[in-house]
Structure 1
């Protein structure tokens, strides 16, 4: 039984019970009053009969009168079974059927005596301290002419009245108990009939509150309760459709927000951060949990960024700017701030869009540097060719030795120019991933022996020891031509930058052995005992046209693109390359490649 049904049942029972109780109290009061009224009438008649048949005006001493009137009172009580008392006009009790008059108080102030003196008859009901029970008293005056000489008082026990009232109460209580049971059953049935549909509607409403929009109220009659159930069902259907649309929109919006590469931050009208997507967390260096709910000027952000938000809030105009951020990493951000307003033009906050343009700006800078470097690198051999050609045209052709020397220089610079253009085209194709990769199994000992043999004569010219360390059963799946290009570039650098009598080594090691004892990756180490690379230059060693020692590089015939080409070719093989070097000790290039593609 629900609380509502219990309350309704209790209210019905209380209404019926209170009605019966009030009726019972009224009946008990009416019965008591009518019974007492009948006793009072009887007692008045008896008193008048006693007054008329007795001598109540005798003279004598108090003791004689007390003896006489006491005897009279006792004789009358034997006939009427009622207590009779004779009181003199001054209140002195001269006779009583139940107690000695000498022991009784003055009765002049008793209510029944006072009323009898005033009205001719007096009644009162009170507890008798003498008899220890409720008594009904009636008194009439005794007159001699117009003068009152005394009072006759008759007292009757109310025990019979009390017994009648008690019997009535027993009847009422029994009737009420039976009525309460009947009323409880009837009330429960009535309450159940009223509350059962309401209970089911309440359960459905709670399920709707808990987002169970498929819950429905069973069909009832077409009365008000049935119409309420139909209205709840229609509301549930409408909510189900609306929530489905809302959830679909939320999923789409969440998918967009989570996968956007731009950071999104929303600030409400109270200047608190209420939205931050994952890209925004990465850009700002703080999690959404740390920032949500905080004011934008309390979020420990860069001062210029905070000022830009403040300006947008104050002007409520769109702002676009570019700014350098230094935390959590140095980056260039394009910042767009858009004020948010509803259809009624009420301002509700600011939308901040953060786009990391660091890579774009770096590419622009690299493109600019590349154009400048290419122009510079092309200008040097072209200037040499032009200068020596002009010298020859000016008359140096007449001097055969000089002419041959100048022509050799022109040839060398042309070769250098050809290599430079070839490397630039090669790097361009590699970076744009336009070169096809042909992967095939390669037996490393044989492959490395052929590769090293290409450079052995060049090493012997400088008395450099060129050594190879590789196990017999080492294989790898790779593009043979491109892998050879990688190793030749690294070995050529090692030979060029190693002093006479130095060493250049190639070592191959298997990595990441699996459960079957097969290796999954291969490490190739090319090391030399050359001049080494300063630590400050190591981070930029793979950049295009970057040279540690420009004069030394040019004298060696390098173009400054070899290591950049190596890095891109290694990445096309899904591998990694790193360099370790110490000035005066040597350099070590470490390449790690997957065995199978």
Structure 2
């Protein structure tokens, strides 16, 4: 597209060229008339001069004289005249063009710059600017357009920033988000939602939600919102790669201020962990109640029996008192473990970490269960480096190993062997306790460290355990920044491995 300055300049040049050319042609056509008039005037002057001198001339002689004067050197004067016209008109044309170019450059070019800038702004190029700095009334117009361009550029930058923030927020939020347009087509789905249902964004966006193979319960929920045109909240189960997940789903219609239907929004939050924790809490309350009720019932029953007269029978009374003493000891052990676990789980609990030699911790732990080992005629075989320092709380680490060794003694046959080994592995000290006990089925391993969880409930209770030992072990190992793993085979035994960070050298 030609600029306004160029168009005006070409038009003015063409008009000036035509005008000056026309004038040149007209002047060229009138030159013979002027020349004839000049010749007549000259011949008349000669005749008058002759008359004054007393020489009379007839009319035929006068005509002949006029023609002779007009015929002398007829080509010189027209050529000089035309040359003069061309030179004058050319100079006039050039001067006029230069002056007009200066005027258009001063007053029309800013308009072209502003027009070009506004066209770029309309295309979305907010970095465009009108480059004009000359003083004058046009500078205000150019300055205003440049200010508008800067404002639009800043607004576009802010809009892009906000859009990126919103996109990042939606993509990384801990809840699933699904947007359905007015035509029942899926317009947006964040990564959390796609991961939960196992779908790909490219295959989901733009297709009707009923054809997107969404979970049936979710489709029914969306249909309900579409019919009722009111928000709906439900709890649904979705089959995911990690298993069945429980979702709290909130779905609501999107309606503009004029009542127009825009679509449906679905927000899905994974509450599987909350459901699991709630179940653990309920199981914990039930297990605590059960574990407390058993010794309390025994104590109450035998004490009532003694009060009813059995105390008179010395042998029976002693037997009942031994039972009461044993049950009270079990009750005391349960309460101590509960208090210990509560203290460990309490926020702000801090271990007294210090460099500790692993062999000292193992030796102390083995000495602590020496009585149990003697009663069951079992032995412990130890294998550890002479010097292996770890960063740990020695008392709590002894508690960890004592719990593991106690379980190994309780769930192994009398006369069997327990192995305790220690080694350095990838910046960690690994301490393993291996028994030859009953073993643990593979399906039971994930729940092994839950409070009051028992693999063999009858035998566990007979062993005198509270069901809290492994839960305490897991919490203490986590507080040390370590890990605990289990390898087990039913009927052959189990190996518990505790990994604790090494001490700084």
TM value normalised by structure 1: 0.66
- CA distance change for structure 1 residues 534 and 241 in 2, over 3 Å: closer, same or farther? closer
Equivalence for 2:325:
411
Distance 1:295 1:190 in 2: 63
- CA distance change for structure 1 residues 27 and 337 in 2, over 3 Å: closer, same or farther? farther
Q: Which has the higher helix share?
A: 2
Q: Which has the higher strand share?
A: 1
Q: How many residues align?
A: 452
- 1:181-238 superposed Cα distances (whole Å, 9 cap, x missing partner): 788766755554455324543565437933438x576456665x55542441342354
1:310 aligns with 2:223: yes
Match of 2:267 among 344, 349, 353: 353
Equivalence for 2:256:
342
1:261 aligns with 2:174: yes
1:300 aligns with 2:207: no
Distance 1:423 1:392 in 2: 30
Equivalence for 1:554:
461
Residue 259 of structure 1: CA displacement?
5.3
Equivalence for 1:471:
385
Equivalence for 1:159:
none
Residue 297 of structure 1: CA displacement?
3.0
Residue 476 of structure 1: CA displacement?
0.5
Match of 1:400 among 291, 305, 314: 314
Q: CA RMSD in A?
A: 3.7
- 1:121-168 superposed Cα distances (whole Å, 9 cap, x missing partner): xxxxxxxxxxxxxxxxxxxxxxxxxxxxxxxxxxxxxxxxxxxxxxxx
Question: Higher relative CO (CA 8 A, sep ≥ 6), structure 1 or 2?
Answer: 2
Distance 2:226 2:105 in 1: 60
Distance 1:176 1:455 in 2: 126
- CA distance change for structure 1 residues 553 and 218 in 2, over 3 Å: closer, same or farther? same
- CA distance change for structure 1 residues 242 and 343 in 2, over 3 Å: closer, same or farther? farther
- Matching of residues 115-126 of structure 1 within 5 Å: none
Distance 1:222 1:334 in 2: 68
8 A Cα contact 1:264 1:354, kept in partner: yes
Q: Larger Rg: 1 or 2? A: 1
Equivalence for 1:210:
125
Equivalence for 1:586:
493
Equivalence for 2:34:
none
Residue 353 of structure 1: CA displacement?
1.7
- Matching of residues 88-127 of structure 1 within 5 Å: none
Residue 5 of structure 1: CA displacement?
5.1
Match of 1:376 among 285, 290, 296: 290
Residue 595 of structure 1: CA displacement?
2.1
Equivalence for 1:91:
none
Distance 2:231 2:502 in 1: 54
1:321 aligns with 2:251: no
Distance 1:16 1:311 in 2: 79
- CA distance change for structure 1 residues 312 and 195 in 2, over 3 Å: closer, same or farther? farther
Residue 249 of structure 1: CA displacement?
4.6
Match of 2:353 among 434, 439, 445: 439
Equivalence for 2:446:
539
Residue 501 of structure 1: CA displacement?
2.2
8 A Cα contact 1:217 1:230, kept in partner: no
Q: Secondary structure at the match of 1:326?
A: strand
Equivalence for 1:197:
110
Q: Secondary structure at the match of 2:234?
A: strand
Distance 2:91 2:200 in 1: 72
Equivalence for 1:483:
397
Equivalence for 1:421:
335
Distance 2:499 2:209 in 1: 46
Residue 596 of structure 1: CA displacement?
4.4
TM value normalised by structure 2: 0.78
Distance 2:212 2:8 in 1: 57
- CA distance change for structure 1 residues 426 and 190 in 2, over 3 Å: closer, same or farther? same
8 A Cα contact 2:249 2:267, kept in partner: yes
Q: Secondary structure at the match of 1:210?
A: coil
Match of 1:388 among 299, 302, 327: 302
Residue 393 of structure 1: CA displacement?
2.1
Equivalence for 1:141:
none
- Matching of residues 82-161 of structure 1 within 5 Å: none
Distance 1:315 1:222 in 2: 66
8 A Cα contact 1:216 1:236, kept in partner: no
Q: Secondary structure at the match of 1:567?
A: helix
Q: Which runs of 5+ in 1 are unaligned?
A: 32-169, 513-519
- 1:436-484 superposed Cα distances (whole Å, 9 cap, x missing partner): 3111110111221122121233223323220111111200011111111
8 A Cα contact 1:378 1:417, kept in partner: yes
8 A Cα contact 1:575 1:591, kept in partner: yes
